Amino acid sequence: MIAVSYADVPSTVTSVHVFAWQDGRAPVELRPPEQFSTASGSVQVECPSGAAVTVSFVRGDEYLLDGPFDCPSVNSRRRIDLTWRRTVRVRAPPKSSARPDITWVSASREAQDAWPRCAWTETSAECWGSPVDAHGALLFMDGDRVWWTLVLGGAPVADFRQSVWARLIAVNDVAGYGPLTAAIARPMTSGERRMSLRLDTALVAGASAVPVSPGSVWIQGDQMPPSAWVELSAARAAPTYLPLDEVAHALPSLTHWVTLDPARVLDGVVHGSQGRAGGALVTLFRLIDPPASKGDPHQPRRVFAAETVAGASGEFRFDTLGDADYEVVVWHAQFGRGIAAVARGDTSVTVRLESAGQVRGRVVVGGKPVAAVDVISLPDPQAYAQAADLTDVKGGDARTATDGRFVVSLAPGGGGEVRVGGGSYPIRRFPLPRAPIPLVDLGDIDLGEPLEVTVVLDHDPGCDIRATGPIGRSGLQVIGGTRAGPGLFTIAFPEEGMWEVHLLCGRDEHALVPTFVSITQANAGKEVRMAVR
The whole-number pLDDT of residue 371 equals 96
DSSP 3-state of 17:
strand
Separation of alpha carbons 165 and 323, rounded Å: 26
Separation of alpha carbons 165 and 290, rounded Å: 26
The whole-number pLDDT of residue 317 equals 97
| Domain shared by 52 and 18, yes or no | yes
| Domain shared by 433 and 502, yes or no | no
Q: Count CB atoms within 10 A of the CB of residue 440.
A: 17
pLDDT band at residue 402 under the 50/70/90 scheme: very high
pLDDT in tens, 46-74: 999 999 999 999 999 999 999 899 999 99
Does residue 217 form part of some domain? yes
Q: Count CB atoms within 10 A of the CB of residue 383.
A: 17
pLDDT at 358 over 90: yes
Give the pTM. Answer: 0.78
| Domain shared by 336 and 390, yes or no | no
Residue finishing a domain among 258, 287, 310: 258
Q: Which residue has the higher pLDDT, 245 or 387?
A: 245
pLDDT in tens, 162-186: 999 999 999 987 677 889 999 999 9
Average pLDDT of span 222-236:
93
pLDDT at 190 over 70: no
Separation of alpha carbons 15 and 38, rounded Å: 10
Average pLDDT of span 9-23:
90
pLDDT at 95 over 90: no
Does residue 37 form part of some domain? yes
- What one-character-per-residue DSSP string does 434-458 give? SS--SEEEEEEEE----EEEEEEES
| Domain shared by 105 and 123, yes or no | yes
- What one-character-per-residue DSSP string does 67-124 give? EEEEPPSS-EEE--EEEEEEEEEEEPPTT-------EEEES--SPP-S--EEEE-SSE
Average pLDDT of span 277-297:
87
| Domain shared by 398 and 440, yes or no | yes
The whole-number pLDDT of residue 34 equals 66
Residue finishing a domain among 258, 287, 305: 258
| Domain shared by 104 and 196, yes or no | yes
Does residue 349 form part of some domain? no
| Domain shared by 198 and 297, yes or no | no
Q: Count of domains in the chain?
A: 5
Does residue 281 form part of some domain? yes
| Domain shared by 106 and 152, yes or no | yes
| Domain shared by 335 and 471, yes or no | no
Q: Which residue has the higher pLDDT, 200 or 489?
A: 489
Separation of alpha carbons 311 and 116, rounded Å: 57
Domain containing residue 464: 451-532
Percentage above 90 pLDDT, the chain: 70
Separation of alpha carbons 511 and 528, rounded Å: 15
Does residue 351 form part of some domain? no
pLDDT at 519 over 90: yes
The whole-number pLDDT of residue 200 equals 87
| Domain shared by 459 and 441, yes or no | no
Does residue 253 form part of some domain? yes
Q: Which residue has the higher pLDDT, 96 or 115?
A: 115
The whole-number pLDDT of residue 99 equals 84
pLDDT in tens, 404-434: 999 999 999 999 999 999 888 999 999 999 8
| Domain shared by 29 and 127, yes or no | no
Q: Count CB atoms within 10 A of the CB of residue 431.
A: 11
Average pLDDT of span 439-460:
94
pLDDT band at residue 198 under the 50/70/90 scheme: confident
Does residue 171 form part of some domain? yes
The whole-number pLDDT of residue 143 equals 87
CATH code of the domain covering residue 488: 2.60.40
| Domain shared by 212 and 330, yes or no | no
Does residue 515 form part of some domain? yes
Average pLDDT of span 88-116:
86
The whole-number pLDDT of residue 173 equals 75
Q: What is the helix (H) or strand (E) element at residue 18, kind and residue range?
A: strand 15-20
Give, in order, the Cα–Cα distances in Å from 224 to each of 9, 119, 227, 317, 467: 52, 32, 8, 34, 41
pLDDT in tens, 366-382: 899 999 999 999 998 88
Q: Which residues of 164-189 are buried (b: 16+ CB within 10 A; e: fewer)?
A: ebbbbbbbeebeebeebebbbbbbee
pLDDT band at residue 332 under the 50/70/90 scheme: very high
Q: What is the helix (H) or strand (E) element at residue 248, kind and residue range?
A: helix 244-248
Residue finishing a domain among 296, 313, 343: 343
